[in-house]
Amino acid sequence: MVSVSYHCPRCGAVAELRRGAYLEDKCVTPEPLDGWKYADAHAADPDDEGDPYAGADGVVIVCGAAETDGDGCGEPYYLSFVRFEEGREVQPAVPAEDVSFDFR
């Protein structure tokens, strides 16, 4: 498990999640990507190895919830993981201006 920080694409508040190190981040967006299944950041059930997001295509984070220490705008945003179908990476149909690749 690793701790990773994400910025809200609306207000810039920082959220921190503990997740499996094997998950590869794709993007953070204000709206969900079509076809992705999102786990709830604060209500996900860990798998046998303790990863709460195993099996999900991403995580929905509510800005201002526990993951952001109460700071933020209160709007949901979406962390999407890299996803494969039939051995090929799935590319979302989302305008470039709606995507943030700042995972610091």
50's tokens: 């303790």
pLDDT score of 17 more than 60: yes
pLDDT tens-digit profile of 28-37?
A: 999 999 889 9
| Domain range summary for the chain, segments of one domain joined by + | 2-98
Is residue 103 within 8 Å of residue 28, measured between CB atoms?
Answer: yes
pLDDT at 36: 92
Segment 58-97, tens digit of pLDDT: 999 999 887 777 778 999 999 999 988 898 888 876 555 5
Cα separation, 26 vs 48, in Å, equals: 24
Pairing outcome for strands 38-40 and 2-7 = unpaired
